[in-house]
């Protein structure tokens, strides 16, 4: 059994480590088709989210993720700040059970990508974080429907997010800053899709511990 609050704390702690480790990589990706700030923006946000004792003081998983949402909204900026802020806020509202189940994972990821789409209006294939998040939510839902475990749901979500991010390479961006490049956005991975894969991989690894 996985306790939702403990999992959420570990998820965000490991996400902050992964974002810090991949800061330069995300900056490089955003330099190719954007303005080069994605790694710096996200690192600032996740470093702020894990600072102090807010994660420890959050009483349940939903409060952990609400704290992250608020921190990202106030510190990240750009396109990704409000989008990830909305994702974590909507996801938090679904994390209502004390024990993490595959159904909870699926509901959280579906709500998160729903929030991103409500705010950013991107659909699949527009070379955004939606290309990682949507397949991840679908993969988790399949595991939940087959009565799999939370770990299995997160592992499947992480694999789908990573393949979704890798599939953004040949796409032409039609949303966000990269869309200004038109055809020239092809041939580069979308930085937001790659950071989404990192975040979901951190969620999966937190459930394995």
Give 190 or 201: the residue with its C-beta nearer to ligand ADP: 190
38 belongs to the binding site for Mg ion (CB under 5 A): yes
**Smallest distance, Å, CB 74 to ligand ADP?**
14
* Contact partner, 130, from ligand ADP, Mg ion, none, Cβ < 5-8 Å per class: ligand ADP
What is the rounded distance in angstroms from the CA atom of residue 38 to the CA atom of residue 136? 21
Tokens (6 digits) for 35: 């303005």
Chain residues that interact with ligand ADP, rule: CB under 6 A = 30, 34-35, 37-38, 41, 78-80, 83, 116, 120-122, 128-130, 175-177, 190-193
Per-residue x/- track, 67-106, Mg ion (CB under 5 A): -----------x----------------------------
**Smallest distance, Å, CB 66 to Mg ion?**
25
Q: DSSP for the chain, please give it.
A: --BHHHHHHHHHHHHHHHHHHTHHHHHHHHHHHS-S-HHHHHHHHHHHHHSTTHHHH--SHHHHHHHHHHHHHHHT-TTHHHHHHHHHHHHHHH--SSB--HHHHHHHHHHHHHHHHHHH---TTSSSTHHHHHHHHHHHHHHHHTT--HHHHHHHHHHHHHHHHHTTTTPPP-SSGGGGGGGGGTTS--HHHHHHHHHHHHHHHHHT-
Give 64 or 193: the residue with its C-beta nearer to ligand ADP: 193
* Contact partner, 116, from Mg ion, ligand ADP, none, Cβ < 5-8 Å per class: ligand ADP
* Contact partner, 80, from Mg ion, ligand ADP, none, Cβ < 5-8 Å per class: ligand ADP
Which of 29, 30, 71, 206 touches Mg ion (CB under 5 A)?
30
* Contact partner, 190, from Mg ion, ligand ADP, none, Cβ < 5-8 Å per class: ligand ADP
Give 127 or 141: the residue with its C-beta nearer to ligand ADP: 127
Contact residues toward Mg ion (CB under 5 A) are 30, 34-35, 37-38, 78
């Amino acid at each position: 059994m996985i306790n939702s609050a403990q999992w959420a704390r570990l998820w965000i702690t490991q996400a902050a480590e992964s974002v810090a480790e991949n800061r330069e990589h995300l900056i490089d990706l955003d330099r190719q088709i954007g303005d080069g700030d994605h790694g710096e923006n996200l690192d600032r946000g996740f470093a702020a989210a894990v600072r102090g004792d807010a994660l420890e003081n959050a009483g349940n998983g939903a409060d952990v993720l609400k704290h992250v949402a608020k921190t990202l909204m106030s510190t990240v900026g750009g396109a990704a700040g409000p989008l990830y802020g909305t994702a974590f806020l909507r996801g938090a509202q679904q994390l209502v059970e004390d024990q993490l189940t595959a159904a909870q994972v699926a509901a959280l990821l579906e709500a998160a990508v729903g929030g991103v789409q409500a705010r950013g209006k991107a659909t699949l294939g527009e070379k955004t974080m939606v290309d990682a998040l949507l397949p991840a939510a679908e993969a988790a839902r399949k595991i939940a429907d087959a009565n799999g475990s939370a770990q299995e749901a997160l592992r499947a979500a992480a694999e789908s997010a990573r393949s979704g991010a890798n599939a953004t390479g040949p796409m032409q961006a039609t949303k966000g800053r990269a869309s200004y490049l038109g055809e020239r956005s092809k041939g580069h991975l979308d930085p937001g899709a790659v950071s989404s894969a990192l975040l979901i991989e951190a969620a999966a690894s937190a459930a394995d511990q």
